[in-house]
């Protein structure tokens, strides 16, 4: 059969934005190759058939952005609910409102504070260490918010997230630890926020609904048995959104990632924790947080008496794990520079998305960066014949 105009490797938000724009705006025939059995990348979700609850298969996804262009773009494919994310944290048998705010300070120290009193208290407690003298994450955190709040809300959680004692983590991991001297507990402070009304998969599926977009599932671009790399490399432009190290056969070594184990279970209670996310701030509780999906869509109707919760456990990813968060050690950054050099020399291939750039990208960032790639690389190439570099 005839070659497509463009091959996109990966059907996450980055790949689908490229495919959608190239089909609709540039009139191209696009072939999307996806190695999983479903499209959508990590934002993919499934409706549990028993309870009707939407389960985010690769971890909770909350959409938020202040980028007007991205907001207008995504609204072509879905409407959004008015959901506003809020997070709570459990510590020593008590539940606190996060991010650290006046409600938390009052509850934790057992008395009410005016904003100025709270500021004075935290300033006093953080005097123990000067920020410029901090030699590790623990000292840095204490220098910013004081020891009591650090030990309750940062220490255990951070230790579990990194499986490393905070005294052995670099001070650079945190630049600031915002404390809000008011009762505002909205998690995101973006201009736009909400969840896709009929779910992530409906949204992602609509992005690929164009007669000139073909999505081929269960097809790993790098598996020689598929023959796809051989068929397309050097013959048609390729946008590759898989891991950059894998593309080059890990020739400079593997980039390190952290992963999250998600333990999903259906419970016979109507409401387990009264909200979507409760962090586990105690160091001796093995999970980092518990998600309860039905609270993300309170507007939906569910089977009563049932709920679905997920316990999350954070750890270093091995080769067979889903790569979630770049570890980004000095060694990783060195390898990445070498891979970027190789990527620049790879003819007719553009690297993008979170795996292709080894960067944590929120959904709005992945979509925004794909729109820029269309404007700055693909449109000049296909519309004006510019070289693809
Ligand atoms: P993504 O990983 O989604 O897609 C890449 C696709 O390429 C995958 O489907 C993969 O199978 C495929 N692929 C890889 N190699 C291939 C190959 N060789 N051949 C064929 N296919 C291949 N963002 C946000 O805004 N709010 C949130 O709350 C969250 N929450 C969140 C939780 C967790 C645990 C994670 C890890 C991430 C988030 N995110 C998020 C980020 C969000 O998941 C991210 O922005 C998008 O997944 C980025 O889309 P990409 O297309 O870049 O990658």
What digits encode the pLDDT tens for the residues 97-115?
999 999 999 999 999 999 9
| Mean pLDDT score, 152-175 | 92
Task: Based on the residue annotation, tell me whether 35 is a catalytic residue of this protein.
Answer: no
Task: Based on the residue annotation, tell me whether 21 is a catalytic residue of this protein.
Answer: no
| Mean pLDDT score, 163-187 | 93
pLDDT of residue 227: 93
pLDDT of residue 380: 96
Distance from the CA of 35 to the center of ligand 1, in angstroms? Answer: 13
Complex ipTM value = 0.99
Q: Which residue, judged by its Cα, is nearest atom 35 of ligand 1?
A: 324
pLDDT of residue 176: 86
Contact 355 CB / ligand 1 (< 6 Å): yes
Of the pLDDT bands very low, low, confident and very high (cuts 50, 70, 90), residue 194 is very high
Contact 33 CB / ligand 1 (< 6 Å): yes
Q: What integer best gives the mean pLDDT of the chain?
A: 96
Of the pLDDT bands very low, low, confident and very high (cuts 50, 70, 90), residue 1 is low
Which atom of ligand 1 is found nearest the CA of 221? 19
Q: How is residue 159 written in tokens? A: 């230790």
| Mean pLDDT score, 334-353 | 97
Domain boundaries, the chain: 6-39+208-255+327-384, 99-173, 257-316
Catalytic-labelled residue, pool 20, 312, 332, 358: 312
Contact 12 CB / ligand 1 (< 6 Å): yes
Cβ atoms of 173 and 163 closer than 8 Å: no
Which atom of ligand 1 is found nearest the CA of 361? 45
pLDDT of residue 284: 95
Which atom of ligand 1 is found nearest the CA of 363? 45
pLDDT > 90? residue 326: yes
Q: Tens of pLDDT along 70-95?
A: 999 999 999 999 999 999 999 999 99
Of 326 and 1, the structure prediction assigns the larger pLDDT to 326
Catalytic-labelled residue, pool 258, 292, 339, 354: 258
- The answer to which of 19-33, 51-65, 161-175, 218-232 has the lowest mean pLDDT is 161-175
| Mean pLDDT score, 124-138 | 95
Q: Tens of pLDDT along 211-262?
A: 999 999 999 999 999 999 999 999 999 999 999 999 999 999 999 999 999 9
Matching CATH number, 6-39+208-255+327-384, of 3.40.50.2300, 3.30.9.10, 3.40.640.10, 3.40.50.720: 3.40.50.720
* Fold match between domain 6-39+208-255+327-384 and domain 99-173: no
Task: Name the CA dihedral angle for 245, 251, 252, 258, rounded to a multiple of 10 degrees.
Answer: 40
CATH 1.10.3110 fits 99-173, yes or no: yes
Of the pLDDT bands very low, low, confident and very high (cuts 50, 70, 90), residue 187 is very high
pLDDT of residue 173: 86
| Mean pLDDT score, 324-333 | 92
Substitution candidate for ligand 1 out of 21, 32, 42 with most atoms within 8 A of CB: 42
Distance from the CA of 262 to the center of ligand 1, in angstroms? Answer: 16
Contact 381 CB / ligand 1 (< 6 Å): no
pLDDT of residue 80: 98
| Mean pLDDT score, 176-194 | 95
Which atom of ligand 1 is found nearest the CA of 260? 34
pLDDT of residue 389: 79
Task: Based on the residue annotation, tell me whether 312 is a catalytic residue of this protein.
Answer: yes
Contact 324 CB / ligand 1 (< 6 Å): yes
């Amino acid at each position: 059969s005839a070659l497509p105009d463009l091959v996109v490797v990966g059907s996450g938000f980055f790949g689908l934005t490229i495919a959608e724009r190239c089909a609709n705006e540039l009139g191209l025939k696009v072939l999307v190759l996806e190695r999983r059995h479903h499209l959508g990348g990590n934002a993919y979700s499934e409706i549990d058939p028993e309870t009707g609850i939407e389960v985010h298969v690769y971890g909770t996804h909350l959409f938020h952005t202040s980028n007007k262009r991205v907001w207008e773009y995504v609204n072509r494919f879905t409407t959004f609910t008015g959901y506003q994310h809020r997070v709570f944290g459990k510590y020593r048998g008590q539940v606190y409102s996060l991010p650290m705010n006046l409600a938390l300070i009052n509850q934790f120290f057992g008395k009410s504070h005016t904003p100025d009193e709270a500021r004075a208290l935290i300033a006093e407690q953080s005097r123990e260490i000067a920020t410029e003298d901090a030699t590790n994450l623990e000292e840095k955190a204490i220098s910013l918010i004081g020891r009591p709040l650090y030990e309750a809300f940062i220490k255990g959680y951070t230790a579990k997230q990194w499986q490393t004692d905070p005294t052995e983590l670099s001070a650079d991991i945190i630049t600031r630890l915002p404390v809000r001297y008011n009762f505002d507990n909205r998690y995101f402070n973006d201009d736009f926020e909400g969840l896709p009304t009929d779910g992530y998969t409906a949204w992602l599926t609509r992005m690929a609904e164009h007669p000139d977009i073909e999505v081929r599932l269960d097809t790993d671009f790098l598996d020689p048995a598929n023959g796809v790399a051989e068929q397309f490399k050097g013959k048609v432009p390729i946008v590759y959104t898989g891991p950059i190290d894998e593309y080059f056969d890990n020739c400079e070594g593997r980039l390190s990632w952290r992963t999250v184990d998600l333990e999903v279970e259906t419970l016979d209670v109507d409401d387990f924790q009264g909200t979507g996310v409760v962090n586990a701030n105690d160091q001796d509780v093995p999970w980092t947080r518990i998600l309860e999906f039905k609270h993300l869509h309170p507007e939906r109707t569910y089977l009563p008496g049932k709920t679905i919760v997920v316990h999350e456990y954070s750890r270093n990813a091995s080769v067979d794990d889903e790569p979630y968060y770049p570890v980004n050690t000095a060694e990783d950054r060195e390898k990445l520079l070498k891979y970027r050099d190789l990527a620049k020399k790879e003819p007719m291939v553009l690297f993008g998305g979170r795996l292709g750039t080894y960067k944590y990208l929120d959904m709005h960032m992945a979509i925004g960066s794909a729109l820029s790639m269309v404007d700055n690389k693909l449109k000049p190439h296909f519309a004006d014949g510019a070289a693809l570099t």
